[in-house]
C-alpha cells in the first residue's frame, strides 16, 4: 500500500519569510512525486514533479522540492513567500497502477 | 481552448436520489480519474479509467458508479447508497494510459450538497 503524510495542516507566515512544507511517503517501489497547489477559487494545478535524476527539482513561482530517498521525504521549499502564495498545497505519490495518492494538504496563509 | 470541464458547478441531491456529475476533456488523454475532496482529508480516489470501456475502483468506490463509453467523457453517478455524499468532486485526466509520467490535469470541480 502507498501513503503520503503531510504533517503541517495549517501554516501562517509573514511575507518574505521562508517556507518549508513537509511531505513523507510510504511505498516500496519506484516513486514519482508531485506537489500540487490549489489557489482560492482555482483549479488544482501542478507546482513541480520528480521522476528521476536530480533530486532537487524546481517548479513554478520560485518553488523547489528535494527528494531524499533515505528519509522518504519530498519537502517543498520557497526562500521568500508572497501574499499570493496563500493556497492549499498537496503532496502526491504516483505508485502502482498509475494512481496518484494525495496527502491531506497544507493550508498556507501568508500575511502582509 | 483545451481542458477539462465539469458540470454543474453546484449540485443538490435529495435523500434517496441518484445524481450524475459530468466530466469532459478535449485533451485526447487516455486516463481519467474521479476524486473526492473533503476538508482535512485531501483528495481520495473514487474511480479511474485508463482506457475506453474499462475502469477500476479507487480507494472509496462504494456508493459510486462510472462509465467510460467515450474517450473524452467519464461521468460519475453518486447513488443513494452513498450515505455521506456532500463533498467537492474533482475530475482529472492524464496523457498516458499506463505507467508513470502522466501529470494529471484537473477540472474546476463540482460541489455536491445534500438537501
pLDDT digits (tens, 9 = 90+) for A73-83: 999 999 999 99
Burial class for A66, CB neighbours closer than 10 Å (0-12, 13-18, 19+) = middle
**Which among A49, A98, A103 has CB closest to B42?**
A103
Edge-to-edge strands of the sheet including B4-7? B4-7, B19-25, B76-78, B64-66
**What is the rounded average pLDDT of the residues A19-38?**
93
Least confident interval from A66-75, A96-105, B37-46: A96-105
Contact B52, B33 (CB under 8 A): no
Q: In angstroms, how far apart are the furthest CA atoms of chain A? A: 43
- Predicted confidence at residue B103, as pLDDT, reads 79
Q: How confident is the model at residue A100 (pLDDT cuts 50, 70, 90)?
A: confident
Percent of chain B with pLDDT over 70: 92
Query: Hey, how many other C-beta atoms are within 10 angstroms of the C-beta on B107?
Result: 24
| d(C-alpha B5, C-alpha B74), whole Å | 11
d(CA B112, CA B89): 7
Contact between chains at B100 and A98 (C-beta distance less than 8 A)? yes
Write down how long chain B is.
115
Are B50 and A32 a contacting pair at CB < 8 A? no
Please provide the average confidence, as pLDDT, over all residues in chain B. 90
| A101 and B CB contact within 8 Å | yes
Read off the pLDDT of residues B10-63 as tens digits, 9 standing for 90 and up. Answer: 999 888 899 999 999 999 998 999 999 998 888 999 999 988 999 999 999 999
Beta strand A56-58 pairing with B31-38: unpaired
Interchain contact, A98 vs B56, CB within 8 Å = no
pLDDT tier at B2, thresholds 50, 70, 90: low
Cell of A34: 508531485
Q: What is the dihedral of CA B78, B82, B83, B84, to 10 degrees?
A: -60
* Spatial contact of B105 and B91, defined as CB atoms under 8 Å apart: no
Instruction: Give the minimum alpha-carbon distance from B107 to chain A in angstroms, rounded to a whole number.
Output: 6
Amino acid at each position: 500500500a502507498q501513503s503520503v503524510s503531510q504533517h503541517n495542516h495549517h501554516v501562517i507566515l509573514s511575507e518574505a519569510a521562508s517556507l518549508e512544507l513537509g511531505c513523507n511517503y510510504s511505498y516500496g517501489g519506484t516513486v514519482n512525486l508531485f506537489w500540487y497547489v490549489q489557489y482560492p477559487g482555482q483549479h488544482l494545478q501542478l507546482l513541480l514533479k520528480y521522476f528521476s535524476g536530480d533530486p532537487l527539482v524546481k517548479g513554478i513561482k520560485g518553488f523547489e522540492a528535494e527528494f531524499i530517498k533515505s528519509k522518504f521525504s519530498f519537502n517543498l521549499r520557497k526562500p521568500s513567500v508572497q501574499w499570493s502564495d496563500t493556497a492549499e498545497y498537496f503532496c502526491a505519490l504516483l505508485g502502482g497502477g498509475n494512481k496518484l495518492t494525495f496527502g491531506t494538504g497544507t493550508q498556507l496563509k501568508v500575511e502582509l | 481552448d483545451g481542458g477539462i470541464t465539469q458540470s454543474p458547478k453546484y449540485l443538490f441531491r435529495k435523500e434517496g436520489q441518484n445524481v450524475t456529475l459530468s466530466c469532459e476533456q478535449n485533451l485526447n488523454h487516455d486516463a481519467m480519474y474521479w476524486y473526492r475532496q473533503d476538508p482535512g482529508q485531501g483528495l481520495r480516489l473514487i474511480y479511474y479509467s485508463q482506457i475506453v470501456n474499462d475502469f477500476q475502483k479507487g480507494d472509496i468506490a462504494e456508493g459510486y458508479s462510472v462509465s467510460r463509453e467515450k474517450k473524452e467523457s467519464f461521468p460519475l453517478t453518486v447513488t443513494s447508497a452513498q450515505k455521506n455524499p456532500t463533498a467537492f468532486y474533482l475530475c482529472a485526466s492524464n496523457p498516458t494510459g499506463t505507467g508513470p509520467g502522466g501529470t494529471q490535469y484537473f477540472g474546476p470541480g463540482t460541489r455536491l450538497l445534500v438537501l
